[in-house]
Amino acid sequence: MSFTLIDLGKEGYEFRSSIWQWRPVLQIIRNLDLLSISKIRLMESNGTGVTIEEQEAHLIGRKIYEEILPKLQPNKRMFANLTITDEPDDGTFYKDPENQWRNYSVTYQWLKDFADFCLQSKGFRIF
């Protein structure tokens, strides 16, 4: 499953995410208490067309820069449970329910790119 974030202001400006990256991002947003729970729930499924307003997008981008990226650092990645590792993703697919959380992570660079998209957008819709 993938997600496409389409900017509300610039035609053709969009950002793409796989489910593997999207889950950690949603958990970061939820943990930082940046959006309502009902909006986050809509963001959990692709194709909903939920709108993130410009001020919300900018807040997300700013908080990621201020609170998450300094912890993460360029050589690390963050899992959906918000733990951080310096081990590179080796592509292993974890089927055991107790370890499935290890399938979902974002790298520093990916999260920085997402934050930049949020800061440069005029808000966005998620498909």
What is the per-residue pLDDT across 19-60, written as a single tens digit (0 to 9) for each? Answer: 999 999 999 999 999 999 999 999 999 889 999 999 999 999
Q: Which long-range contacts (CB under 8 A, 24 or more apart) does 82-85 make?
A: 82/24, 82/27, 82/28, 82/31
Residue 91 has pLDDT above 90, yes or no: no
Question: What is the pLDDT averaged over residues 64-83?
Answer: 94
Q: What is the pTM of this model?
A: 0.92
What 8-state DSSP symbol labels residue 98?
Answer: T
Residue 94 has pLDDT above 90, yes or no: no
d(CA 55, CA 52): 8
Tell me, what's the pLDDT at 88? 87
Residue 114 has pLDDT above 90, yes or no: yes
Element (H, E) at 38: helix 37-43
pLDDT band at 69 (very low <50, low <70, confident <90, very high): very high
Mean pLDDT taken over the chain: 94
CB 28 within 8 Å of CB 68: yes
Share of the chain above pLDDT 70, in %: 100
